[in-house]
Amino acid sequence: MNKIKKKDIRSFSLKKLEIFFQSIGEEVFRAKQVYKWLWQKGVPSFEKMTNIPKSLRVSLNENFFINNILIYKQQKSKDGTIKNSVKLHDGLIVESVIIPSKKRITACVSSQVGCSLDCSFCATSLLKRMRNLNSDEIFDQVVSISKQSKIYLNRPLTNIVFMGMGEPLLNYKNVIEAIKKITSNDGLGLSPRRITLSTSGIPKMIKKLADDRVKFKLAVSLHSARQSIREKIMPFSKNFPIEDLIESLKYWNNITNKVLTLEYIVWEGINDKVEDINSLIDFCKEVPSKVNLIQYNSIGNLKFKRASKEKVIEYKNSLEEVKIPVSIRISRGKDIDAACGQLANK
Ligand code: SAH
């Protein structure tokens, strides 16, 4: 007897599942039932699909496998942040974080194992990129956090940020597919307005977001609006000059009509001069933005030192003077290496 080569059932769309059920002489509505088990309830085996007849469960098990992630370690910060170490089917590991606050519960998810970019202040860049996550591996991080949120915090997940490991716009197709599932009524039904994708700034892909009319929010890790400085701290940006970034963001803003968020760390001696502040203001005048001044979390690179509180306040005041919305972000989960830029599978 020929052994059937099992397929990953979660690579099947609902339509494709329906065709499969038809082909084996089953009722088409079973496809939707199975799809719900996979995408709404996130069950790890066919056994658990209790409204599916036993014989069909056996046949599904012969034809398919469910490619699940495994949360193999959790760490809890004293500020309530929880970090998940997530083992993938091939043994590689990524991290995702649950960040509770008074009003929200935010999931911070990863899009790649490691990262191909070379931001020298970010711990993930030290790992190099090993592979893209599949859309289901991205979706699973969210499902898992959504369950944990109810169990540990007794509140539902409210927001998602693509600010974990990796560059989401370099894994475009899978990230978009995962977001489709997260927002679809057959998935988690979360509003796209509650999702923010953060990119280090890949102009071509930012234009694609606009062309694809995506509904979620966009954040760009700018850190300097001066090309010469940005190139030093984010060397990949040599290939993506700031003028191209601005042009792509104008294009995105024209089509989506949305306000961009800029993530910006202020470092001593790197981007703390009046000239740096003025360049940021010029940038915001070209592309309507609000600025999040984020705290630098040390990753042991001696070149980078967090700027003083006074300097950060000077930045804030200068932006406010010209009516650019700005806030200072305090990092969460630092004691468990779960804060911005610290995810590195230690
Ligand atoms: N690659 C995407 C997604 C990662 S988001 C991006 O760059 O936007 C992670 C955010 O944390 C980015 O804004 C990044 O610039 C920031 N970050 C990286 N290292 C950091 C550090 N050591 N301290 C504080 N923020 C950091």
pLDDT at 3: 59
Identity of the amino acid at 315: Y
- 304-333 burial by CB neighbour count: b if 16+ within 10 A, else e? beebeeebbebbbebbeeeebebeeeebbb
Q: Tokens for 262?
A: 């800029």
pLDDT at 331: 86
Q: Which of 126, 138, 196, 263 best tests ligand 1's pocket when mutated (most atoms within 8 Å of CB)?
A: 263
The residue whose CA is least distant from atom 9 of ligand 1 is 163
Known active-site residue 95: yes
Terminal-to-terminal C-alpha distance of the chain: 46
Identity of the amino acid at 271: N
CATH number of 70-336: 3.20.20.70
CA distances from 75 to 108, 127, 189 (A): 15, 21, 28
CA proximity to 218, closest of 248, 196, 202: 196
Atom of ligand 1 nearest to the CA of 162: 3
pLDDT at 344: 80
Which residue in 115, 119, 284, 340 is the catalytic one? 340
Mean pLDDT taken over the chain: 94
Q: What count of Cα atoms within 13 Å lies in the side-chain half-sphere of residue 134?
A: 16
In the chain, residues under CATH classification 3.20.20.70 are: 70-336
pLDDT digits (tens, 9 = 90+) for 64-73: 998 888 898 9
Phi, psi of 343 (to 5 degrees): -75, 115
Q: Which of 117, 234, 294 best tests ligand 1's pocket when mutated (most atoms within 8 Å of CB)?
A: 294
Element (H, E) at 136: helix 135-148
User: Are 243 and 251 spatial neighbours (Cβ–Cβ below 8 Å)?
Assistant: no
Mean pLDDT throughout 308-325?
97
Report pTM.
0.89
Phi, psi of 326 (to 5 degrees): -145, 145
Q: What's the gap in Å between 1 CA and the centre of ligand 1?
A: 53
3-class DSSP string for 255-282: HHCCCEEEEEECECCCCCCHHHHHHHHH
The residue whose CA is least distant from atom 24 of ligand 1 is 296
pLDDT digits (tens, 9 = 90+) for 281-306: 999 999 999 999 999 998 888 899 99
Q: Tokens for 271?
A: 């981007």
Atom of ligand 1 nearest to the CA of 298: 22
Mean pLDDT throughout 198-207?
98
Q: What's the gap in Å between 184 CA and the centre of ligand 1?
A: 28
Scanning the structure block, which residue is given the tokens 């398919």?
64
- Give the confidence band of 62 by pLDDT, cuts at 50, 70, 90: very high
Top-level CATH class of 7-65? mainly alpha
Q: Which of 97, 163, 223 best tests ligand 1's pocket when mutated (most atoms within 8 Å of CB)?
A: 163
Atom of ligand 1 nearest to the CA of 219: 8
- DSSP SS3 for 250: helix
Identity of the amino acid at 54: K
pLDDT digits (tens, 9 = 90+) for 176-192: 999 999 999 878 999 99
Mean pLDDT throughout 115-131?
90
Known active-site residue 340: yes
- DSSP SS3 for 124: helix
pLDDT at 343: 82
Give 91: exposed, middle or buried? Use CB within 10 Å, 0-12, 13-18, 19+.
exposed
- Give the confidence band of 47 by pLDDT, cuts at 50, 70, 90: very high
CA distances from 147 to 152, 163, 194 (A): 9, 20, 18
Checking if the pLDDT of 323 tops 70, the result is yes
CA 10/CA 43 separation, integer angstroms? 12
The residue whose CA is least distant from atom 8 of ligand 1 is 199
List, chain by chain if needed, residues with CB within 6 Å of any ligand 1 atom. Answer: 119, 121-122, 163, 167, 198-200, 221, 263, 265, 294, 296-297, 299, 340-341
- In sequence order, what are the beta bridge partners of 291? 262, 326
Q: What's the gap in Å between 103 CA and the centre of ligand 1?
A: 23
In the chain, residues under CATH classification 1.10.150.530 are: 7-65
- Give the confidence band of 247 by pLDDT, cuts at 50, 70, 90: very high
Identity of the amino acid at 188: L
CA 296/CA 266 separation, integer angstroms? 7
CA 79/CA 334 separation, integer angstroms? 9
Mean pLDDT throughout 45-61?
95
